[in-house]
Amino acid sequence: MSQATPVAKQVLVLGASSEAARAVKELLALGYKVLWVSGDELPSNGLDSPALAKYANCRLYALEGHVGRFVSHFLHQGQRLALSTSAIIVATGNERYFPAERYGLELSSLVWTTSQVKEQLKKPLPQSVLAFRDKRILLLLDWSGETSKELVSESFSLAGELCERCRSEVYFFYRDLTVDSPGWEQRTRELRDKGVVFCRYGEPEVTVGEAAVSISYLEGTVEGDLLVLPEAVRPRGDTAELAEILQVRLGEDGYFQELNIRKYRAGLSARKGIFFAGRCHMDCDASEAESDALQVVAAVDALLGQGALEPEEVIAYVDPSKCIRCLTCVRTCPHAAVQVVEYEDMDVVAARVDELACWGCGACASNCPVQAIEMVGQEMPAWVQGV
Amino acid sequence: MREHPSVIVVGGGIAGLTAALNLAERGAHVTLVERDSVLGGNARTVCCKAIAGECQLCGGCLLGERLELIVSSPVELLLETSVARVERDNGGFLVYLEGAEKSSPLRAQAVILATGFDHVDAHTKGPYGYGILPSVTTGEEMERKIKEEGQGAYDALGLHKVAFIQCVGSRDEHVGRGYCSQVCCRYALRLARLLKARQPELEITIFKMDIQNSGRDFQKTWQAAQEEGIRIVAGLPAVIRRSSEEPRRATFVYDDILAGQIVQEDFDLVVLSVGMQPRRDAEQVAELFGINQDRYGFFAVGDDLISTIVPGVFVAGTCQAPRSMAEAAAHAQQAAEACYRYLQELAL
Amino acid sequence: MKSGSKLERILASGAFAVTAELGPPKGPDVSVVMRKMELLRGVCDAINVTDNQTAIVRLSSAATCALLHQNGLEPVMQMTCRDRNRLAIQSDIFGAVALGIRNLLCLTGDHQVFGNHPTAKNVYDLDSIQLIQMVARMRDESVTAGGDPVEGEVPLFIGGAANPFGDPFEMRVIRLAKKVAAGVDFIQTQCIFDLPRFREWMKRVVDQGLHEKVYILAGVMPLKSVGAARYINRNVPGFSVPNSIIKRMRAAGKGKKAREEGIKICAEMIQELREIEGVRGVHIMAVEWEEAIRPIVERAGLLPRPSLED
Amino acid sequence: MIVAERKPLSEIIAKVEGYNRLLIVGCNTCVAVCQAGGEKEVAMLAAALRLRFRDRQPAMEIIERSVERQCEEEFNQVLAEDIAHAEAVLSMACGVGVQTLVEQFPDAIVLPAVNTKFMGRPEERGVWSERCIGCGNCVLDKFGGICPITRCAKSLLNGPCGGSENGRCEVDPENLECAWQLIYDRLARLGQLDRLLEIEPPKDWSTARYGGPRKIVRKDMVL
Amino acid sequence: MGDHQKIVVMACKHSAGEALRELQREGWALPDGVEWVELPCGGSLDELHILRAFEAGAAAVLVLACYHGACRSLDGSRWAEKRVQAIQEMLAEIGIEQDRLEFRNIAPTMPADLASWVEALHRRVLAPAGE
């Protein structure tokens, strides 16, 4: 079959998250040309280099081509823009929201979210500290029935900061204390030493009074001045639309779905050359998201680093003369590796498998109603052809 | 093009294989040294926990994929071989080997240590009677038995009541393991669901401190376990003894915190969910390469959780901290990236 | 006067009309018709005779109506578009008029899949609105659908059905307006259990002034048992029995007591419907329970029926 | 396109049991697109029949063929020899293909292996639904682009009937949307609801099959 | 049918294939009369392959694909199961007993189960015909 196809070391990074920035930095360090695009503003983290083109407020509306020769179409300040790259890293992060209906509580002066507390602490002294000085703060986790490492990690650091900088009295309520990231168990011990009171609950009763809040649980009732609830995270609103444009799949929980357990956590999508990094496809805190970006760049460089791409050993080949353009292969290919196209040389319209995008799984060949697709390189016993 | 940088990967488990494959695909000359006669490390005894045709995403298959890829990759494999001595050699390393392939010393510019972990020895948890009571086993043993005998290994043993006890040897500062081993809740609940699926009338209880149930791969299993009637009790037993009525059964007393009652209960099988601890020979390996160990005996690393105090020596997988197989693979790939960047700067 | 039928004259006189339904037998057994006829004599102003109701083969509506007419009762012939094309419909109408029938209810008709001949070919050459328009032009312009002149008068009081509970709800009033534009004279609605929704529908009908262009009779149905109520909710599309009525039927118990409660509820419903502006009468559908009609009309205080002198 | 579905295997077996030499002919156009009678389905059916009659004496000889479009005599001509040789021809084309073979090879016994269903489209892969019955006088513009004649169980032109409930047709709520709910929603969306007030007169059915089998003759194409 | 009776195993390379190689590394061998056909993925299994296997004299066909959710090409294992079910429905009509066509999900970590399934099928189908 054909040998290696030369390919440019050019990558599109989608998203404005910290993991996107980390991926861009790493790609530049490896000598890649990087297109950094986001529908919103892009963080200005001092990454300027001739090899980096940044496009903020730029929306992807269509994607053509395959690994090695993707062409992404954008709307940027009103005009259309087509950019070609060899690979795409999706690092759009996730979305925070306050699950009011699940908590059954509205935000008020007595009920804050962890983000609000964080914002307050960023304000200049003294109000940042005064807001919490000598106050008893009840931090209630797991109550929304959802655990997210990002929010648990943030709640840990908040509890520490409130104790140290604001001399607040912090009660940390939990159903199951999440400690399964390296160093998190140690962190809880440090918080205990700083005076954070950890309380396990089965089913808490939360009451928000005029001037105070209280939580009654297993060991009794604790009154406090402020109830702090972590928000929840969910897939960004534009995930479904982006998935359709990229022709990649979403999991049952609405996040981008990695290929599967076998390639697990390498951030591979079902399409060669499209990768997911960070919180858009996994539950992790900011630092884990950034190290996820590192390992995705390692996967990208493993693909493009040698400057050429080779097809799999066994790939599908469509005989254009037999193809009846019934679209079955296009609809059943899990890797979006086949399209019905105009064969320039033969001026016939038929399905064509992109040899670099094909995984060799054979779903198209077995589904083709006119047996026009052959799995090249796949030996089958003679009897398969029939007596 | 720069002449091929050479890297030595020590350890042929999931982490070692992942790092070796990534670096090899990127043009580095990689030599993988594995003490055992077979690749795979601890992942070799991980069983399949799929139920009713559906995979429970435990990560066991990660090894199969890597064994498939390593065969056709340019990585040079040295089995039944271990590192005898290491010398610094103008910025690189001169590694003397012993065992089957002790040929001349290997010269490399970087080393990735992926030496894995040891299961916590359940004997050290004396009061739990492991090794004395026939009905007390460990999660590692259960996985190994199912891997060797097939998913039906526990079908015909006439079990009625099974207990899984979490955090055995983990989250316990007094025994020098003040960390969560991350994997025990995940394998315990998946094993519990497998047993329940094959023997629906089985009563299974999991005794926990805190179930670690975050992560997309685990949410579905966690919810399903609760719906399938697997009982979760917040409270760990102190002592496990032989049941007086039925010698082959074990019994223990536990304080069910949430129910606020103290209970004594008999079980046909008690599975100790043992955690991870550093390899017995972690200290020698650290000394060989001149790197430090952290307070628990794992290899000490910088903020990136990968680089050590010795430039060019990187760490991947569970030898740095307890991790699931998928996380170890991801960490190894991050180590490969750090190592590749190091080699790049070296070549400038 | 459009037809001079008794029903038309009663409605024109402003009296609150009462019509009932008679289900013909599944064969030519005339004695069944005669028995049911006597149960209804003097109890209602006109009697609807169904046309292969729910696509189940029965004695034809025209023949049964002729029997009623010969025995001094006022029939309302029902005509569906399922079983006949426009030729057969017109000739059947001429026959009915020739035999003295003066009231005609135009229906689309249940799909044959619900009846005892699900493999039959249906017709649906016309729909109910086209049927109304065709009959109105035969009567007012003396012209057949094909355009030829009609030899003789076709004095018919034209009726149509309406289902205030079908979806899409906004369409229901639009469709009534279309039937009025097509020339319908009176409307008999689907049986009413959900009073609030019927009030909402009537309010919109009144807002559009349709109640001044057509006589509207509210459909009611007595329930024999709580089982019947649940059957309706599960199988009959278009309307449902609210829980309040199901609770009363369950409380009433079984057999005779349940049927008495069914009659009581029906009578109360009629009294409620009488107060709604634009409701000019009631159409009682007691399927296979013609015996219940007299006690219902009696309890609703609608006896004796007005007898017009001429 | 024309959508068809293969007959149950038991029915096909009963039809061909008596023959020793069988020719199975597929068609690579409509029935292949809807995966009822294309080349692969021919191979599948042939394999199944060979297995079914494997112990029969004399053995059943089954030849597999597939043509581009079985409703074109030129494409069928290549089958002449095979048809002459075979005792019966099992055609996996739609009804048109079966009858083209019969008209082209009058001595041949041609048996249908698929049931031709309707003109329709795939809602998704593996699910097809009817869109047009070929009434010969298209009125789609009057109903917001949704055909009540095809998609309403009673072909009502002044629908809906009383049996429409939350968008489903009472005749088959699970599979059938109520065409008139679709029309109502679409016209509401286009702001043309007033169209529903006009009374649609009775339809001229003569352009449909009711007027007898149809024929089109293009004078500009016939010498 | 073929003179020599045989069992055809149509197996996905990534799961059954790896499990077989682990068995072979430990000295296990496929019983004689078992033909191992390795597919790039369950998705490439064609109903026709199964029918052709029976036509070529297979006494039984065992199809092995990954567990659903673990397939490298996402839907391959589900395609394989659907195809086997389609053929199972027609087995009775073409004169083949229902239990002559089996579908099982498998993982590379299940060499023990692979061995027991193949040996059980071999005992059930080939052994009674005399060694």
Domain membership of residue B108 (yes or no) is yes
The residue of chain B with its CA nearest to that of A176 is B210
Contacts of B330 in chain A (CB under 8 A): 265-266, 291-292, 295
Give, to the nearest 10 degrees, the angle between helix E47-55 and helix D39-52. Answer: 30
Residue B209: phi and psi, rounded to 5, are -95, -65
pLDDT value, residue E2: 43
pLDDT value, residue A1: 47
User: DSSP strand E in C197-272: where?
Assistant: 215-220
Q: Does the structure show a pLDDT above 70 at E128?
A: no
User: How many Å lie between the alpha carbon of D200 and the closest alpha carbon of chain A?
Assistant: 38
Domain membership of residue E23 (yes or no) is yes
Which residue, A188, A164, A147, A121, is CA-closest to A284? A147
d(CA C283, CA C216): 10
Lowest mean pLDDT among A81-95, A263-277, A348-362, E68-82: A263-277
User: Per-residue confidence at A226, pLDDT binned at 50, 70, 90?
Assistant: very high
Tokens coding B329: 């693979």
- Whole-structure pTM value: 0.88
The residue of chain B with its CA nearest to that of E22 is B64
Tokens coding B315: 């760490």
> Assign residue E98 a region: left if phi > 0, alpha if psi is -120 to 50, beta otherwise?
alpha
Q: In this predicted model, what pLDDT tens digit does every residue of B239-273 receive, in sequence order?
A: 999 998 888 899 999 998 888 889 999 999 999 99
Query: Is C284 exposed, middle or buried (CB count within 10 Å of its CB: 0-12, 13-18, 19+)?
Result: buried
> For C130-151, what is the mean pLDDT?
96
CATH label of the domain that carries residue C24: 3.20.20.220
User: How many Å lie between the alpha carbon of D202 and the closest alpha carbon of chain A?
Assistant: 39
Q: Does the structure show a pLDDT above 60 at E129?
A: no
Same-domain pairing of B81 and B183:
no
Q: In this predicted model, what pLDDT tens digit does every residue of E7-16 receive, in sequence order?
A: 999 999 999 9
Which residue, C171, C131, C287, C149, is CA-closest to C223? C287
Q: Please give the ipTM for the structure prediction.
A: 0.87
C-alpha distance from residue A167 to each of A136, A155, A164, A194 (Å): 9, 16, 6, 10
Q: In this predicted model, what pLDDT tens digit does every residue of D34-64 receive, in sequence order?
A: 999 999 999 999 999 999 999 888 889 999 9
**Bridge partners of A268?**
A275
CATH label of the domain that carries residue E86: 3.40.50
Question: CB–CB of A186 and B178 under 8 A?
Answer: yes
Which DSSP state fits C149? B
Q: Which chains touch A (3 or more CB pairs under 8 A)?
A: B, D, E
User: Per-residue confidence at C309, pLDDT binned at 50, 70, 90?
Assistant: low
Tokens 């673990």 sit on residue: E70
Chains B and C touch (3+ CB pairs under 8 A): no
d(CA D121, CA B15): 51
CATH label of the domain that carries residue B313: 3.50.50.60
CB B267 within 8 A of CB B165: no
Alpha-helical regions (H) of B72-183: 139-149
Tally of structural domains, chain C: 1
Give the 3-state secondary structure of chain A.
Answer: CCCCEECCCEEEEECCCHHHHHHHHHHHHCCCEEEEECCCCCCCCCCCCCCEEEECCEEEEEEEEECCEEEEEEEECCEEEEEEECEEEECCCEEEECCHHHHCCCCCCCEEEHHHHHHHHHCCCCHHHHCCCCCEEEEECCCCCCCCHHHHHHHHHHHHHHHHHHCCEEEEEECCCCCCCCCHHHHHHHHHHHCCEEEECCCCEEEECCCCEEEEECCEEEEECEEEECCEEEECCCHHHHHHHHCCCECCCCCECCCCHHHCCCCECCCCCEEECHHHCCCCCHHHHHHHHHHHHHHHHHHHCCCEECCCCCEEEECCCCCCCCCHHHHHCCCCCEEEEEECCCCEEEEEECCCCCCCCCHHHHHCCCCCEEEECCCCCHHHHCC
> For B68-73, what is the mean pLDDT?
91
CA-based radius of gyration for chain D: 22
Structural domains of chain A, with CATH: 5-93+236-309 (3.50.50.60), 98-232 (3.50.50.60), 315-385 (3.30.70.20)
pLDDT value, residue C98: 96
CB B239 within 8 A of CB B132: no
Q: Which chains touch D (3 or more CB pairs under 8 A)?
A: A, C, E
pLDDT value, residue C146: 93
d(CA A107, CA E76): 48
pLDDT value, residue C169: 86
Q: Looking at the domain D2-117, which fold is it? A: Rossmann fold (3.40.50)
Who among B55, B214, B322 is closest to A261 (CB)? B55
Q: In this predicted model, what pLDDT tens digit does every residue of A292-342 receive, in sequence order?
A: 999 999 999 999 998 999 999 999 999 999 999 999 999 999 999 999 999
Give the structural domain span for C292. Answer: 6-299
Residue A199: phi and psi, rounded to 5, are -125, 125
Give the structural domain span for E13. Answer: 6-129
CA end-to-end distance (rounded Å), chain A: 29
pLDDT value, residue D223: 80
d(CA B154, CA B142): 9
d(CA C12, CA C15): 8
Q: Which helix (H) or strand (E) holds B118?
A: strand B117-119
Chains C and E touch (3+ CB pairs under 8 A): no
Contacts of C182 in chain D (CB under 8 A): 199
Question: CB–CB of B63 and E67 under 8 A?
Answer: no
Q: Does the structure show a pLDDT above 50 at C63?
A: yes
> For A16-22, what is the mean pLDDT?
95
d(CA C21, CA C82): 20
Q: Does the structure show a pLDDT above 80 at E127?
A: no
Contacts of D5 in chain E (CB under 8 A): none
| Average confidence score pLDDT of chain B | 92
Lowest mean pLDDT among A16-20, B88-92, C299-303: B88-92
Who among D35, D47, D50 is closest to A369 (CB)? D35
Domain membership of residue E1 (yes or no) is no
CB C165 within 8 A of CB C232: no
Contacts of B217 in chain A (CB under 8 A): 261, 264
Q: Does the structure show a pLDDT above 60 at E1?
A: no
pLDDT value, residue C218: 96
Query: Is D156 exposed, middle or buried (CB count within 10 Å of its CB: 0-12, 13-18, 19+)?
Result: buried
Tokens coding B42: 């601890």
pLDDT value, residue B3: 61
Q: Does the structure show a pLDDT above 60 at E3?
A: no
Considering B276, B310, B336, which residue would you say is the last residue of a domain? B276
Q: Which residues contact C31 (CB under 8 A, 6 or more apart)?
A: none
Question: CB–CB of D48 and E94 under 8 A?
Answer: yes
Give the structural domain span for B296. Answer: 6-116+279-347
Q: Peptide bond before B237: cis, by omega within 30 degrees of 0? A: no
> For D70-96, what is the mean pLDDT?
95
Tally of structural domains, chain B: 2
User: Per-residue confidence at B1, pLDDT binned at 50, 70, 90?
Assistant: very low
Contacts of A332 in chain E (CB under 8 A): 75, 79
d(CA C60, CA C72): 19
pLDDT value, residue A90: 97
Residue A100: phi and psi, rounded to 5, are -55, -45
Same-domain pairing of B223 and B157:
yes
Q: In this predicted model, what pLDDT tens digit does every residue of C179-227 receive, in sequence order?
A: 999 999 999 999 999 899 899 999 999 999 999 999 999 999 999 988 8
Same-domain pairing of B103 and B136:
no
C104 three-state secondary structure = strand
Tokens 């093009």 sit on residue: B1
d(CA D61, CA D87): 10
Question: CB–CB of A380 and E37 under 8 A?
Answer: yes
C-alpha distance from residue B267 to each of B165, B194, B242, B256, D172 (Å): 12, 18, 10, 16, 55
Residue D125: phi and psi, rounded to 5, are -65, 125
pLDDT value, residue B219: 80
CB of A177 within 8 Å of a chain B CB? The answer is yes
Domain membership of residue C310 (yes or no) is no
Domain membership of residue B89 (yes or no) is yes
Q: Which residues contact C116 (CB under 8 A, 6 or more apart)?
A: C55, C56, C57
Residue positions counted in chain B: 348
Q: In this predicted model, what pLDDT tens digit does every residue of E57-107 receive, in sequence order?
A: 899 999 999 999 999 899 999 999 999 999 999 998 898 999 999 999 999
Same-domain pairing of B140 and B265:
yes
CB of A220 within 8 Å of a chain B CB? The answer is no
Same-domain pairing of B186 and B297:
no
Give, to the nearest 10 degrees, the angle between helix A114-122 and helix A149-166. Answer: 40
d(CA A94, CA A234): 6
Tokens 């376990």 sit on residue: B225
d(CA B230, CA B233): 10
**What is the full DSSP assignment across D99-146?**
HHHHHHSTTS-EEE-EEEEEEEEEEETTEEEEEE---SS--GGGGTT-
The one-letter amino acid code at C113 reads: V
Q: In this predicted model, what pLDDT tens digit does every residue of B147-188 receive, in sequence order?
A: 999 999 999 999 999 999 999 999 988 888 989 999 999 999
Domain assignments of chain D as residue spans, ordered by start: 2-117, 133-211
Chains E and D touch (3+ CB pairs under 8 A): yes
Considering B257, B276, B295, which residue would you say is the last residue of a domain? B276
C148 three-state secondary structure = coil
Q: In this predicted model, what pLDDT tens digit does every residue of A168-207 receive, in sequence order?
A: 999 999 988 989 888 888 899 999 999 999 999 888 899 9
| Average confidence score pLDDT of chain A | 91
CB of A185 within 8 Å of a chain B CB? The answer is yes
